Every structure is written in structure tokens, then in C-alpha cells.
Structure 1
Amino acid sequence: MDRVRDLASRQAAVIFTKSSCCMCHSIKALFYELGASPAIHELDNDASGREMERALRSLGCNPSIPAVFIGGNFVGSAKDVISLHVDGSLKQKLIQARAIWVSPVIYEIDQDPEGREMEKALTRLGCNAPVPAVFIAGKLVGSTNEVMSLHLSGSLIPLLKPYQALS
């Protein structure tokens, strides 16, 4: 039981699953769709899987999988998670646990009738390559090279942190 509690508290969203479970797959897909990146622990691929399954049952998980934890707290199984999603509180729980990152607004300028003008404006703003052009908080960060350099230097995440968990 200690291992389950430890794993459940390591990340904002944690799902205990089995690789062959279609409901587990659906719950994982729902979390990804909401913008969360949960830690996934597939019990059938873990040497301690049977022990963890027993521990999950003793915590009230029935059925034992999928077992969803948000912010270290047991939320429920598939039925519970779907109910939370339908009433709108699942995303709120994920936001409160800081499990969801900002969803960027994406403009496909090749699909926009004013795309050529946008491309010229981006070049005038200083984008070496006009696309992709990344803005954070209304400020031009740059194109691929600049964004990758920020990421590799560890500077990108701090720029995004203030915008984490926005809905």
C-alpha cells in the first residue's frame, strides 16, 4: 500500500491501469484531451502489479483499475472520473492540482486569407523564419531555434509557469 501511495503522490495526476483494459485507455485519452500528462502505472507490466492491485482495492478502488489519483488523492475509477468530467469538475480538479498546462492558441497562417500579410508582419517583428512564431504573454519569443535554445537552457518552463493551470 505504501508503494501505491508513494506513486500516487509523485505527480499531480496518476492513473493505475492495465495495458489490455479499454476503459483504462479511454480514461488516459480523456486526460490527454484535457491537457494533462498523468503518470501511468500499468499493473500488468509491473513486477509488483498484483500487490498494487490489492492495495488499490483496500483503498476503495472497485474495480481496481483504472484507479485515478489527482493531487495525491484517490478520485475514483472510470465511472467516477466520467461523472466528474460530465459535471465539469474533473478539469477543475486537474487545474487545482496544477496538472494542466496552458493550451496555446494556434494560427495556421497558410489557412488564413490574410496569411501572407501575417507572415510579412512576423518577419518585420524579427522572426528569422516567419513560422513557427511563438509568443508568450504577447511577447515574441522567436521561432524554432529560439524556443529550442530556451528549452535546452532550462529557461522555457519558467516562462510558461505563470500560465500553468489556466482554463
Structure 2
Amino acid sequence: MDKVMRCAADKGVVIFSKSSCCLCYSVSILFQELGVNPQIYEIDREPDCREIERALVRMGCTAPIPAVFIGGKLIGSTNEVMSLHLSGALTPLLRPYQQAQS
């Protein structure tokens, strides 16, 4: 769990993902379209993938991936991210991390 927290604190927006997961891809594209360049950790390329998944579930993620952190705080998985987006509450959370549009 310490590794997950260290990684989550590395950058403003962090997504724990798997390279073959279409929901992970969709969430990362959503953030990019909202002007955020998230740090993506492909856990299936880590030797301790299963431990990371278990830690994410223990932290409260309903599905272990994608697991989204904003400002070091666990937001959740796809359902939570999409609910925030559809309600209009996601953009204010992301505002500090949005890239300047040219």
C-alpha cells in the first residue's frame, strides 16, 4: 500500500491501469480531452501487480483498475470518475492540473 500511495502522490493526476484494459484507456482519454496529462502506471508490467491490485481494493476502489487519484486522493474507478464527470464535478477537481490550451 505504501508503493501505491507514493506513486499516487508523484503527480497531480495518477491512473493505475493495465495495458489491455479498454476502460483504463477510456478514462485516460477523457482526462486528456479535459486538458490533463495524467501519470499512468501500467500495473500489469510490474512484478507486484497482484499486490498493487489488492492494495487498491483495500483502499476502497470498487474495481482495482482503473484506479484514479487526483491530488493524492483516491477518486475511484470508472463508475466514480464518470459520475463526477456527468454531474459536472470532475472539471473543478482537475482545474489545478489542466495544461494551458494554445
TM-score interval for Structure 1 and Structure 2 normalised by the shorter chain: over 0.9
Which structure's CA Rg is the greater one?
1
Q: Residue in 1 aligned with 2:97?
A: 99
Unaligned runs of at least 5 residues, structure 1? 105-167
State, as a whole percentage, how many aligned pairs show the same letter: 47
Runs of 4+ in 1 over 2 A off after TM superposition: none
- SS state at 2:97 partner: coil
- Cα distance, 1:69 vs structure 2: 0.2
What TM-score, normalized to structure 2?
0.96
- Cα distance, 1:19 vs structure 2: 0.8
- SS state at 1:80 partner: helix
Answer yes or no: is 1:40 the counterpart of 2:67.
no
How many residues in Structure 1 have an aligned counterpart in Structure 2? Answer: 102
Unaligned runs of at least 5 residues, structure 2? none
- SS state at 1:101 partner: coil
Q: Distance in 2 between matches of 1:31 and 1:48?
A: 26
Q: Distance in 2 between matches of 1:50 and 1:43?
A: 9
Amino acid at match of 1:102: A
Q: Distance in 2 between matches of 1:40 and 1:67?
A: 10
Q: Distance in 2 between matches of 1:38 and 1:99?
A: 9
What TM-score, normalized to structure 1?
0.60
- Cα distance, 1:88 vs structure 2: 1.3
Q: Distance in 2 between matches of 1:17 and 1:101?
A: 22
Q: Residue in 1 aligned with 2:56?
A: 56
- SS state at 2:75 partner: strand
Q: Distance in 1 between matches of 2:91 and 2:77?
A: 16
Amino acid at match of 1:100: Q
- Cα distance, 1:43 vs structure 2: 1.1
Higher relative contact order (CA 8 A, sep 6+): 2
Q: Distance in 1 between matches of 2:79 and 2:101?
A: 26
Q: Distance in 1 between matches of 2:12 and 2:91?
A: 12
Q: Distance in 2 between matches of 1:32 and 1:49?
A: 25
Q: Residue in 2 aligned with 1:8?
A: 8
- Cα distance, 1:62 vs structure 2: 1.7
Q: String of CA shifts for 1:111-142, please: whole Å, max 9, x gaps.
A: xxxxxxxxxxxxxxxxxxxxxxxxxxxxxxxx
- Cα distance, 1:45 vs structure 2: 0.9
